């Protein structure tokens, strides 16, 4: 196999650039961040932006190669779009306002070009503009484009190393279709990307899980996220214990709560609760559990007031509520509106007596008895509140966040795990093609907006997630497919001619068969070399030392389990190749 142009044929540690550290930098908190710094994969330049050092870059490039292969296999076509975008396109889709500070803008004098330029956080606008220009006929559809490109986002708080940054590598793909369903439709394209994602994450050695995600206003089953479980994550994954259901907490559905029939049909009573406005305060003051209370949350939904009722120990799940209510925009009401609606200060709202406002109750509220809630009178609450008797529930649905103890719809208990999102597939519909006028002519010459899907993968996140999922006290344990090198040869006793010639021969033999080999030729003590090899996580270590050679053997140690076997020097190369293939 030919060497990489410009890189020495033998990849010697002493001639490469690997900077390991014994101590963990104080700023790093999560394991992947700590290990990426210690192993010399990355170096932070400013908050949320990192240099990839040679070792880290090798892994990043391997991930990219896998992504590229699978995208091409799925029929997607690679392009490369710029990071600089004209703000006009973003104004046309309304996303200058929607993205707010996340959209990074250049700062110019007055109205010069800088003020009209933004750094792309994603590329729907650009690709849709291209589709508008070049695609005019149904004969050109369906088509899927992708790129692997740097994105810029003004994240309020970068954190956890490369898991959340302001500048990052993303594989983003966009598909264009003439229809939602049927051959060549969006459903097909979506499925092709979904399948490709499964292959990509599997090949990267990630223990991933695909879950239903909140799909926003588009509705349906139009979105899946690909998650990797890790405490460093920012999302919650809700899974049923029997494995039949998994979803993002933003979307997770729960089985109805059964009616405990614990009601005593107590009389409706007004009780003074001066200054007690929160669930915690009132339940403590009235000596009841939060679960006996009805929480009354007042929203403004598409301009109209909307009240959500949930049990005191539950939280409203706003994406769910949006879907149930059929609204696009949901925000908390301001105190003035609450006062106007309930005739009470904030903290004393309740459903009893509120008739001229839309109320949606969570299912769990429908089976409550003798509950406690606000009296719509400042400094007062009601006890003995019974739905049906004291107020009518016109609309009820599952509108709350799942909590531990909940069950899936099939009755299996739900478990909760933190996780990181490494990929997201999404059916867009015509949001961007409508806004930007990307239309095609059908067989009859009629014009329609193209139907779109978009599909993202966080390339850097794959790297960090792989480390989160696979490391130990000594360092990284790379999956072979994305390891910076497959094999490291540790030459001990570097002044022994035998050791060096045997190492060189093994290196060349493996390299000639296409195996990435790193040769640790440094004149260092064995402990240093072993620690470094473990830290940077190379899957297979070959130890060549004068002690072993005296017995005619070299040793092969696997990083994952530390198991060592001795191979005769003569056939070591062949034997190793056999071992590597079995992996």
Are 577 and 515 in contact by the 8 Å Cβ rule? The answer is yes
Binding RNA (rule: CB under 7 A), the pick from 32, 34, 59, 122 is: 122
| 474 binding RNA? (CB under 7 A) | yes
| 471 binding RNA? (CB under 7 A) | no
Binding RNA (rule: CB under 7 A), the pick from 220, 405, 562, 568 is: 562
φ/ψ of 278, rounded to 5, equals -95, 160
| 212 binding RNA? (CB under 7 A) | no
Displacement of CA 347 from its chain's centroid (Å): 36
φ/ψ of 90, rounded to 5, equals -75, -30
CA distances from 90 to 86, 122, 125, 154 (A): 8, 11, 7, 16
| 530 binding RNA? (CB under 7 A) | yes
Count of alpha carbons within 13 angstroms of residue 211, beta-carbon side? 28
As measured in angstroms, the least distance from the Cβ of 456 to RNA is 4
Footprint on residues 161-200 left by RNA (CB under 7 A): 164, 170, 172
Residue 240 to residue 127: CA distance in whole angstroms: 38
Residue 228 to residue 223: CA distance in whole angstroms: 17
Binding RNA (rule: CB under 7 A), the pick from 186, 225, 534, 540 is: 534
> Between 22 and 394, whose beta carbon lies closer to RNA?
22
Contact code string over 535-554 relative to RNA, x by CB under 7 A: x-------x-xxxxx-----
Reported residue count of the chain is: 583
Footprint on residues 217-276 left by RNA (CB under 7 A): 234
| 341 binding RNA? (CB under 7 A) | no
> Between 143 and 538, whose beta carbon lies closer to RNA?
538
| 578 binding RNA? (CB under 7 A) | no
Contact code string over 404-443 relative to RNA, x by CB under 7 A: --------------------x-------------------
Binding RNA (rule: CB under 7 A), the pick from 31, 158, 312, 347 is: 158
Are 479 and 486 in contact by the 8 Å Cβ rule? The answer is no
φ/ψ of 517, rounded to 5, equals -120, 135
As measured in angstroms, the least distance from the Cβ of 529 to RNA is 8
Closest by alpha carbon to 381, among 264, 274, 309? 274
**DSSP codes, 157-210:** --BTGGGB-SEEEEEEEEEEES-SSSTTSHHHHHHHHHHHHHHHHHHTT--EEE
Binding RNA (rule: CB under 7 A), the pick from 229, 434, 493, 498 is: 493
| 51 binding RNA? (CB under 7 A) | no
As measured in angstroms, the least distance from the Cβ of 400 to RNA is 16
Whether cis (ω within 30° of 0) applies to the bond prior to 320 is no
Q: Which stretch binds RNA (CB under 7 A): 94-102, 134-142, 192-200, 278-286?
A: 94-102
Q: How many CB atoms lie within 10 A of CB 244?
A: 11
As measured in angstroms, the least distance from the Cβ of 503 to RNA is 12
Q: Which stretch binds RNA (CB under 7 A): 14-22, 193-201, 291-299, 374-382?
A: 14-22
Closest by alpha carbon to 145, among 103, 181, 189? 189
Binding RNA (rule: CB under 7 A), the pick from 275, 523, 581, 582 is: 523
Q: Which stretch binds RNA (CB under 7 A): 255-263, 321-329, 356-364, 555-563?
A: 555-563
Are 210 and 251 in contact by the 8 Å Cβ rule? The answer is no
| 107 binding RNA? (CB under 7 A) | no
Closest by alpha carbon to 136, among 556, 446, 358, 351? 446
Binding RNA (rule: CB under 7 A), the pick from 16, 20, 418, 504 is: 20
| 328 binding RNA? (CB under 7 A) | no
| 27 binding RNA? (CB under 7 A) | yes
The kind and range of the H/E element at 347 are none
Binding RNA (rule: CB under 7 A), the pick from 8, 82, 526, 552 is: 526
Edge-to-edge strands, sheet with 553-558: 517-520, 487-491, 540-544, 553-558, 564-568
CA distances from 454 to 106, 199, 203, 209, 317 (A): 26, 18, 22, 19, 25
As measured in angstroms, the least distance from the Cβ of 458 to RNA is 7
Residues that bind RNA (rule: CB under 7 A) add up to a total of: 60
Closest by alpha carbon to 188, among 199, 197, 198, 177? 177
| 121 binding RNA? (CB under 7 A) | yes
| 22 binding RNA? (CB under 7 A) | yes
Q: Which stretch binds RNA (CB under 7 A): 79-87, 95-103, 174-182, 388-396?
A: 95-103
Question: What is the β-pairing status of strands 414-429 and 235-240?
Answer: antiparallel
As measured in angstroms, the least distance from the Cβ of 500 to RNA is 13
Q: How many CB atoms lie within 10 A of CB 261?
A: 7
Q: Is 236 helix (H, G, I), strand (E, B) or coil?
A: strand
| 456 binding RNA? (CB under 7 A) | yes
> Between 382 and 572, whose beta carbon lies closer to RNA?
572
* Residue showing tokens 């029929």: 75
> Between 38 and 58, whose beta carbon lies closer to RNA?
38
Q: Which residues bind RNA (CB under 7 A)?
A: 20-27, 29-30, 38, 44, 46-48, 95, 98-99, 102, 121-122, 151, 153, 155-160, 164, 170, 172, 234, 424, 454, 456, 474, 492-493, 495, 523-528, 530-532, 534-535, 543, 545-549, 555, 557, 562
């Amino acid at each position: 196999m030919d060497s990489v142009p410009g890189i020495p044929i033998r990849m010697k540690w002493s001639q490469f650039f690997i900077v390991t550290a014994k101590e963990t930098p104080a700023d790093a908190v999560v394991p992947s961040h700590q290990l990426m710094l210690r192993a010399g994969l990355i170096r932070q330049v400013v908050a949320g932006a990192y240099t990839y050092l040679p070792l880290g870059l090798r892994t990043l490039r391997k991930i990219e190669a896998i992504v590229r292969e699978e995208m091409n296999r799925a029929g997607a076509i690679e392009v490369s779009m710029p990071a600089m975008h004209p703000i006009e396109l973003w104004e046309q889709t309304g996303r200058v306002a929607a993205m707010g500070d996340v959209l990074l803008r250049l700062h110019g004098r007055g109205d010069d070009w800088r003020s009209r330029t933004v750094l792309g956080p994603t590329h729907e606008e650009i690709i849709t503009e291209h589709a508008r220009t070049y695609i005019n006929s149904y004969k050109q559809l369906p088509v899927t484009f992708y790129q692997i490109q740097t994105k810029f986002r003004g994240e309020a708080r970068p954190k956890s190393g490369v898991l959340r940054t302001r500048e990052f590598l993303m594989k983003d793909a966009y598909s264009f279709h003439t229809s939602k369903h049927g051959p060549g439709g969006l459903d097909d394209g979506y499925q092709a990307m979904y399948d490709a994602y499964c292959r990509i994450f599997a090949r990267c050695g990630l223990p991933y899980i695909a879950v239903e995600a909140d799909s926003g206003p588009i509705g349906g089953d139009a979105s899946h996220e690909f998650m990797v479980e890790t405490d460093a994550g920012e999302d919650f994954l809700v899974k049923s214990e029997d494995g039949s259901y998994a979803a993002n907490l933003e979307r997770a559905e729960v089985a109805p709560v059964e009616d405990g029939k614990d009601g005593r049909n107590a009389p409706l009573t007004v009780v003074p609760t001066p200054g007690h406005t929160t669930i915690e305060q009132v339940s403590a003051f009235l000596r009841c559990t939060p679960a006996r209370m009805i929480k009354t949350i007042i929203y403004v939904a598409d301009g109209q007031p909307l009240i959500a009722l949930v049990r005191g120990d539950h939280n409203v799940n706003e994406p769910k509520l949006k879907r149930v209510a059929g609204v696009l925009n949901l925000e908390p009401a301001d105190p003035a509106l609450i006062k106007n609606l309930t005739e009470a200060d904030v903290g004393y709202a309740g459903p009893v007596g509120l008739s001229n406002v839309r109320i949606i109750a969570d299912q769990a509220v429908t089976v409550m008895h003798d509950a406690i809630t606000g009296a719509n009178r400042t400094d007062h609450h009601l006890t003995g509140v019974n739905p049906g008797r004291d107020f009518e529930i016109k609309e009820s649905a599952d509108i709350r966040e799942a909590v531990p103890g909940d069950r899936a719809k099939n009755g299996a208990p739900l478990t909760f795990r933190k996780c990181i999102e490494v990929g997201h597939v999404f059916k867009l519909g015509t949001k961007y093609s409508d806004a930007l006028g990307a239309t095609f002519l059908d067989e009859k010459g009629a014009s329609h907006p193209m139907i779109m899907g978009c599909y993202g993968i966080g390339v850097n996140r794959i790297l960090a997630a792989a480390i989160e999922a696979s490391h130990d006290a000594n360092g990284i344990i790379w999956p072979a497919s994305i390891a910076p090198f497959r094999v490291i040869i540790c030459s001990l006793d570097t002044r022994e001619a035998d050791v060096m010639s045997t190492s060189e021969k093994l290196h060349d033999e493996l390299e000639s068969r296409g195996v990435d080999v790193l040769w640790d030729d440094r004149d260092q003590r064995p402990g240093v070399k072993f620690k470094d090899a473990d830290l940077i996580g190379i899957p297979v270590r070959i130890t060549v030392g004068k002690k072993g050679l005296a017995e005619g053997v070299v040793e092969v140690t696997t990083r994952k389990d530390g198991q060592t076997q001795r191979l005769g020097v003569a056939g070591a190369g062949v034997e190793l190749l056999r071992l590597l293939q079995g992996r």
